[in-house]
Amino acid sequence: MTVTGTRNAPDVVDVVALGESMVTFLPARPGRLADVPAFHRSIGGAESNVACALAAAGHTTRWVSRVGADGFGDHLVEAIGAYGVDVSYVRRDPSRPTGVYFRTAGDRADDTHEVAYYRAGSAASAMSPTEVDLEAARAGRVLHLSGITAALSPDCLDLMRELTAPRPGRPLVSFDVNHRPGLWGEGQDPDVLLELARGADIVFVGEDEARQAWGLHGARAVREALPEPEIVVVKQGKGGAVAFAKGTDGPCEDADGTATFVRALHVDVVAAVGAGDAFAAGFLSSTLRGLPVRDRLRHGHLAAAATLTTPGDLAPPPPRTLADRLAALDDPAWGRLRLGPGWTDADAEAAEEARTP
């Protein structure tokens, strides 16, 4: 086994993201997988998506993972590194392949959506407390994890337990539940995601996945089941998102902390994939900047809107000046916003118009 450019003392970055990334094959046209004649190659991975989005927003980021010593592994390392993400702690495994998957063009929540994973026995599924560089994983202001990793193998679950366990000097741990029913085989219990979430500082979870994985109904029930994290963000789809935060800049409603709700934006959706990762990136970016909880939620929605209005899993985030201006709108103006393809170029277009005689 070789390690790409391992350093003795990892540099401290803003965000470290740890998890499996795969080569993604996107359909050339809508339809069933059986009917799609060709696919376009891309990259996919919840954690690396967050790292790439944060790097594009100007933060220093690192992706920690394992890939095969194969062409697909080369592509992942090169493509993610091209975003400005530090990939020097990605280990290459000569005996296990890089995972790949194929998906249809539809919304993941749609009954017609299909995903075919080829990740069993992948290099990333062999991640464990001894098969990743824990020092590099912890050398960040934030460590971002997701529940997908916990489902890959018992070794991966051991690694997640190690990284979410309380310890002196650990980074702020961000955990996106990301419950994927298809990954949880017989004998595996998704309740372990609840255990891992309780060890995190910031938790992202969809109201629908909390209901499916844990039988919880409503945002308040989720917070009651997760009293430990400093912030619990419950995403409510097209309705919006609510954050329960301890010790925020306002009087707490109760022991759970202040509940802050921000409605979702009106978006002309091009492809409903990658929005959750973008939301997490927008929220974490504004967390690193020390913004109030309401603004963190708004930046999450804006980052998600950037991805929803493009065809792939990853999209350039809106320029910070534009995002800050929109996030500062009053509630009626925020509610009137409608964003479509190309909206993130609004500032550039306005500047160009100003320069044109």
What would you report as the CA-atom Rg of the chain, rounded to the nearest whole angstrom?
20
- DSSP letter at 176 equals E
Q: Count CA atoms within 13 Å of residue 124 on its CB side.
A: 29
Spell 264-293 as b/e; 16+ CB within 10 A means b: bbebeeebbbbbbbbbbbbbbbbbbeebeb
* Helix (DSSP H) and strand (DSSP E) numbers for the chain: 13, 16
Q: Which residues neighbour 150 within 8 Å (Cβ) at sequence distance 6 or greater?
A: 156, 157, 160, 192, 193, 196
Rounded Cα gap, residues 152 and 187, in angstroms: 13
Rounded Cα gap, residues 266 and 337, in angstroms: 6
Q: Count CA atoms within 13 Å of residue 141 on its CB side.
A: 14
Rounded Cα gap, residues 288 and 231, in angstroms: 14
Which residue, among 335, 351, 334, 341, has the nearest Cα to 309 in the 3D structure? 341
CA angle 57-146-245, nearest 5°? 75
DSSP codes joined into one string, 21-75: -EEEEEESSSS-TTT---EEEEEE-HHHHHHHHHHHTT--EEEEEEEESSHHHHH
Q: Which two tokens stand for residue 258?
A: 């202040």
In terms of C-beta density within 10 A (0-12 exposed, 13-18 middle, 19 or more buried), how is residue 147 classed? buried
Q: Which two tokens stand for residue 249?
A: 């800049």
Q: Which of 14, 93, 176, 277 is catalytic?
A: 277
Chain length of the chain: 357
Is 256 a known active-site residue? Answer: no
Rounded Cα gap, residues 180 and 144, in angstroms: 18
Q: Which residues are catalytic?
A: 277
